[in-house]
Amino acid sequence: GKKLGFTFNNRNLHNVSLGQGQEVVAEQALDLAAKEGHWVILQNIHLVAKWLSSLEKKLEQHSEGSHQDFRVFISAEPAPSPESHIIPQGILENSIKITNEAPTGIQANLHKALDSFSQDTLEMCTQEKEFKSILFALCYFHAVVAERRKFGPQGWNRPYPFSTGDLTISGNVLYNYLEGSSKVPYDDLRYLIGEIMYGGHITDDWDRRLCKTYLEEFIKPEMLEGELLLAPGFPLPGNMDYNGYHQYIDDALPPESPYLYGLHPNAELGFLTQSSEKLLRTVLELQPRDSSPGEGGVGTREETVKALLEEMLERLSDEFNMAELMAKVEQRTPYAVVALQECERMNVLTREIKRSLLELELGLKGELTMTSDMESLQNALFLDTVPESWMRRSYPSTASLGTWFADLLARINELETWTGDFSLPSTVWLGGLFNPQSMLTAIMQTTARKNKWPLDKMTLQCDVTKKNREDFASPPREGAYVHGLFMEGARWDAQAGMLTEARLKELTPAMPVLFIKAVPADRQDLRGVYPCPVYKTRQRGPTYVWTFNLKTKESPSKWVLAGVALLLQV
C-alpha cells in the first residue's frame, strides 16, 4: 500500500465471493469503496454471467470522481472453451490482467503441491512418520489427478477444477484424524478425500472410480513398511525434512511419461495425434474462403462443394418405407422393435441430409437466396466436417465427413439386410446402431420372456470369442453375437482369453466377436474380472453405453488407472 502512495488496513477491504445472490452486496461494496478509497475483491465472477454487464456499467460509473485509493480486484476460473469467455470487453480492456499458469508435468506439479506445506507442517503431528508418509502420498496423488487431464477423455471423462485448496484441506483432515486416533484410519481417510474433498468436484461415476482407485493404491498400510511404489521406479520416500522431500523429487522421480499416471505410452500418442489434428484443422479453417484455383488447383470452392454434393445425393438410398416394414413384421419381438426404431431414426437423418443438400444445390445455381444455414453447410462440405444440422439428428461421431458418410451408408446397408426378413443377424454391428443400449436391453427382454425371469433381476454376461465376424453363419440360440468393438488402453489376448498390456502404437486394436447373453444377476461370476465401460466414441463421457466384465489375471486397478475402455467407433 505505501509503495502505491496510500495506507491500507483490513478494515478498508471488502471481500465478496460471488454466487448465491451476492451481487447486491458487491454493488454496495463498490459504491462505499469508491467513496472512501477502499479495496474490493470480487471472487468467482464466472458464476454470475448475467450480472457482468451491470458490473461493467458500475465500474465505468466509478472510473471518474472516485477516491484515488479505490481499487477493484477480480478473480475468475479459466474458461473451458473460447465459447465460454463471458467477461465483457470493457472490463478486460481497462484492467491489468494477471494469469496464474498451472505447472506442467508431474515434477512441477509435485513441487507445487509440496509448496502448499512447510517444515512446520511436517513437525506438527505427534504421529510424525505416518503423517509425513501419507502427506507426501497425498501430494503425489494431487499432482497426478491435476495433470492427468492433459490426456483428454482417457485421462478423465470430464475435466475437473482440482486446486491446492483441496490438497491443503485434505492435509488438515489427515492431521485431525491422526491426532484423534492411535491407529491410521485408512478407510476413513480414503473416503473423506476421495468422496468429499476431491470427489466433490467429480460428476462422472467412472471418474469417481478412478479417483478412489488412486487412493487405494497410494494410501494403504504397506506405505509404512517401505514397500509402496507411487509409480514404476519411484518409491514412497522415508522420513525426511521439507527440503529433503524437494530434493528427493528432483533426484528420484523418473522422467515424465504416461507410466507415472498408470497409463500406457499409447495414451500420449493418442493425445498428441488429436492435438495435431485439431491444430491442422484450425489452420485449414483459416484459409481464404473465396480463393480461386491456383496453378494445378482442382477447381473453385463452389465447384468442389457442388461435385461432393452431387455424389452424396447419388449415393444416398431412399428412405425406409415404414408402412411396408410394419406389415412385414409377423411378431413384434424386442429385436424387431429395435430394427424398426433404428429405421425410423435413420429416415429422420437421411431426410434432413437430402433436404439440405437439394436446398444448397438450388442456392449454388442461383435459384434460391443463400441463407446462413446454407453457407454453414457449404463451409462444412468444403472443410470435410459433418454439418451441424446433420449431427443434431445423427449419432455421436468424431469422424471427418468422408469417413462419416461412408459409415452412414454401411449402417443403412446393415439395416436393409436386417429388415429383409427381420431375423436377428448372425452377428450384430453394435456400433452401427443409433441406440446400442436398446439392442442390449432387447437381449435381456427376450431371455426374460423365454425363461419367465424378472427383468430387473437380470444382467448381461460378456464372453469374448476367438473368432471374427466372418466365422459366424447364424445367431446363437440365446443372446447375440456382436462385432465392431475396439479397445483403448490395453488389448485382448485371444489365446489366453484375457486383458493384457497394449502394444506400442496400436492405439485401438479391434476386438474379436463378443457373445452377449442375459443371466440372473445372482449367478454372475465376478472373480478375476475388470468392469469395462463401453462408449460410443473416444470422447467417452456422455457417450457411455454399458459395462462388460472382461477377464483379467492382473489386478483390475491396473486397468482402471490405464483408462481401459471399449469403443464402438474410432
Per-residue model confidence as pLDDT tens digits over 258-280: 999 999 999 998 888 888 988 88
- 433 shares its domain with 389: no
- Domain assignment of residue 16, given as a range: 2-94
- 467 shares its domain with 563: yes
Does some domain include residue 277? no
- 9 shares its domain with 143: no
Does some domain include residue 289? no
Number of domains in the chain: 4
Return the CATH number at 131.
Answer: 1.10.8.720
- Average of per-residue pLDDT across 60-74: 88
Residue 300 in 3-state DSSP? coil
Does some domain include residue 286? no
- 114 shares its domain with 224: yes
Tell me: pLDDT of 216 over 50. Answer: yes
Q: How far is CA 274 from CA 150, 152, 221, 268, 280, in A?
A: 12, 9, 40, 10, 10
Return the CATH number at 303.
Answer: 1.20.1270.280
- 112 shares its domain with 258: yes
Give the C-alpha separation, 430 to 435, whole Å.
9
Does some domain include residue 305? yes
- 154 shares its domain with 238: yes
Q: Tell me which of 423, 454, 472 is where a domain ends.
A: 423
- 431 shares its domain with 487: yes
- 472 shares its domain with 514: yes
Tell me: pLDDT of 296 over 60. Answer: no
Return the CATH number at 441.
Answer: 3.10.490.20
Q: Tell me which of 94, 123, 154 is where a domain ends.
A: 94
Strands in 13-17's sheet, in edge-to-edge order, are 13-17, 39-43, 71-74
Per-residue model confidence as pLDDT tens digits over 190-206: 999 999 999 999 999 99
Cβ contact 358:377 at 8 Å? no
- What is the pTM for the complete model shown? 0.82
- 363 shares its domain with 439: no
- 368 shares its domain with 449: no
**The three grid cell numbers given for residue 368, joined into one nine-digit string:** 434460391
Tell me: pLDDT of 5 over 60. Answer: no
- The amino acid at residue 517 is K
Per-residue model confidence as pLDDT tens digits over 333-379: 999 999 999 999 999 999 999 999 999 999 988 888 888 899 999 99
- The amino acid at residue 281 is R
- 226 shares its domain with 114: yes
Q: Tell me which of 241, 265, 289 is where a domain ends.
A: 265
Residue 544 in 3-state DSSP? strand
Per-residue model confidence as pLDDT tens digits over 8-48: 445 578 888 887 778 888 888 899 988 888 899 988 888 88
- 401 shares its domain with 436: no
Q: What is the pLDDT of residue 304?
A: 87
Q: What is the pLDDT of residue 17?
A: 83
Q: What is the pLDDT of residue 511?
A: 95
